């Protein structure tokens, strides 16, 4: 018969070996590695006291998160201004002033890198504009052009600063905050982190969240950002933060002082027509699996399609309208009522939304 005590000792030895293997599988800051090693040693002493299993799970979970943090790995890719402009042109029509500002910031980063002036601290760009003007997609276009992975932190309805900074691992089922999770998701220490809609946090938590934002966006502080779960400073100075906001009225003065606001203009009807014909319509056809030859739209109808309900600053309503047209055509095709559709002034009303 197996000796229960001997089996328990074997299991404990195996668990401790797993932790040591995890710890030695990655390069960590020396102080952090030493601290975790002392916690593993403490586990050995706790085995006989009956708390071993619970403490092992806590330390194992903590170590899993520590391993995920990109302490040294970074994207090593030169800044290509031509590629950045091409990526922005591909995703956004017009907005030349906005693109020019971003290219200027990227030029400074490129110049510093060429002169070996150390790691360049990226400006904290804040894209300010009405809903649907393309703020969020600008960040993704930059991610594509720079070759840096991107993670998004949604601030809309954020109700506690703890969500950003994490909770102490003394609490059961605690985890790092959104900031460290975003860093882990990207896997590098110089990603793009999108702080989306920073003006839409809850009123009760606004002051505390703004306090965390100040630390996050301040280059003199964010090289030692402290997440309560990790309980060890993480260097965020190489992260390119891009914030978005509908307006700046709800942002603390201290936060605004650390941002480079760029106003996103509303689209003109001419720009919307170009976007609809060259971006939104082809995208809707592709999403529906529909060949472009199946549907055609009379060019004179675009003003009516763009303004079914009057003026709209962004393109979200326009996008939904075009998707609705494509869906209606898809229904006609699938039900065998037609093989091709030509949207004309005579039949356009059956394809536009009815309010």
Instruction: Give the pairing of strands 295-297 and 341-343.
Output: parallel
Q: What is the pLDDT of residue 256?
A: 92
Kindly list the distances between the CA atom of residue 64 and the CA atoms of 9, 55, 238, 332, in Å, as whole numbers in the listed order: 23, 14, 23, 53
Contacts of 167 (CB under 8 A, 6+ apart): 174, 175, 177, 228, 229
Q: What is the 3-state secondary structure (H, E, C) of 94-147?
A: CCHHHHHHHHHHHHHHHHHHHCCCCCCCCCCEEEECCCCCCHHHHHHHHHHHHC
Q: Output the pTM of the full model.
A: 0.78
Q: What is the pLDDT of residue 355?
A: 57
Indicate whether 233 pLDDT > 70.
yes
Question: For residues 170 and 54, is the Cβ–Cβ distance under 8 A?
Answer: no
Using alpha carbons only, what angle is made at residue 167 by residues 161 and 169, rounded to the nearest 5 degrees? 170
Higher pLDDT, 308 or 204: 204
Mean residue pLDDT of the chain comes to 84
Q: What is the pLDDT of residue 105?
A: 83
Indicate whether 5 pLDDT > 70.
no
Question: For residues 183 and 236, is the Cβ–Cβ distance under 8 A?
Answer: yes
Structure tokens at 242: 């891009």
Indicate whether 150 pLDDT > 90.
yes
* Per-residue pLDDT reduced to its tens digit, 55-99: 777 888 888 899 899 998 988 888 889 988 888 888 777 778 788
* pLDDT mean over 242-255: 90
pLDDT bracket for residue 286 (50, 70, 90): very high
Q: Cβ-count burial of 168 within 10 angstroms (0-12 exposed, 13-18 middle, 19+ buried)?
A: exposed
Q: Which of 228, 141, 172 is nearest to 54 (CA)?
A: 172
Indicate whether 32 pLDDT > 60.
yes
CA atoms of 178 and 152, how far apart (whole Å): 9
pLDDT bracket for residue 4 (50, 70, 90): very low
H-type helices in the chain, by residue range?
A: 4-24, 30-46, 52-68, 81-91, 96-114, 135-146, 162-165, 178-186, 206-217, 253-256, 269-275, 281-288, 302-306, 316-334
Q: What is the pLDDT of residue 47?
A: 66
* pLDDT mean over 170-190: 90
CA atoms of 96 and 78, how far apart (whole Å): 23
Higher pLDDT, 292 or 353: 292
Question: For residues 315 and 266, is the Cβ–Cβ distance under 8 A?
Answer: no
In the chain, % of residues over pLDDT 90? 32
CA atoms of 234 and 75, how far apart (whole Å): 17
CA atoms of 94 and 219, how far apart (whole Å): 32
* DSSP 8-class letter at 339: S
- The most confident of the ranges 16-30, 132-146, 197-211 is 197-211
pLDDT bracket for residue 49 (50, 70, 90): low
pLDDT bracket for residue 1 (50, 70, 90): very low
pLDDT bracket for residue 109 (50, 70, 90): confident
């Amino acid at each position: 018969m197996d000796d229960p005590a001997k089996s328990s000792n074997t299991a404990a030895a195996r668990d401790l070996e797993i932790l040591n293997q995890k710890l030695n599988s990655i390069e960590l800051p020396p102080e952090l590695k030493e601290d975790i090693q002392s916690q593993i040693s403490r586990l050995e002493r706790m085995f006989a006291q009956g708390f071993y299993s619970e403490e092992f799970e806590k330390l194992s979970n903590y170590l899993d998160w520590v391993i995920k943090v990109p302490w040294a790995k970074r994207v090593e890719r030169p800044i290509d201004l031509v590629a950045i402009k091409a990526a922005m042109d591909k995703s956004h029509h017009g907005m030349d002033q906005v693109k020019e500002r971003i290219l200027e910031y990227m030029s400074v980063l490129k110049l510093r890198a060429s002169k070996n002036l150390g790691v360049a601290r990226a400006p904290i760009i804040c894209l300010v504009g009405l809903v649907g003007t393309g703020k969020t997609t600008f960040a993704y276009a930059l991610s594509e052009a720079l070759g840096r992975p991107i993670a998004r932190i949604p601030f809309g309805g954020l109700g506690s600063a703890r969500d950003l900074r994490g909770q102490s691992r003394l609490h059961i089922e605690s985890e790092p905050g959104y900031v460290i999770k975003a860093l882990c998701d990207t896997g590098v220490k110089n990603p793009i982190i999108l702080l989306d809609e920073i003006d839409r946090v809850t009123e009760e938590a606004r002051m505390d969240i703004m306090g965390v934002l100040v630390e996050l966006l301040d280059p003199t502080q964010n090289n030692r950002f402290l997440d309560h779960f990790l309980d060890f400073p993480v260097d965020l100075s190489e992260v390119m933060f891009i914030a978005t906001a509908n307006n700046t009225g709800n942002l603390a003065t201290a936060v605004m002082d650390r941002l480079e606001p760029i106003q996103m203009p509303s689209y003109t009807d001419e720009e919307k027509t170009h976007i609809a014909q060259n971006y939104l319509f082809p995208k809707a056809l592709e999403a529906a699996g529909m060949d472009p030859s199946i549907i055609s739209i009379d060019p004179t109808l675009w003003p009516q399609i763009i303004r079914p309900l009057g003026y709209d600053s962004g393109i979200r309503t326009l996008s939904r309208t075009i998707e609705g047209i494509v869906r209606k055509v898809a229904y006609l095709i699938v039900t065998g009522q037609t093989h091709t559709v030509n949207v004309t002034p005579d039949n356009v009303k059956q394809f536009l939304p009815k309010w």
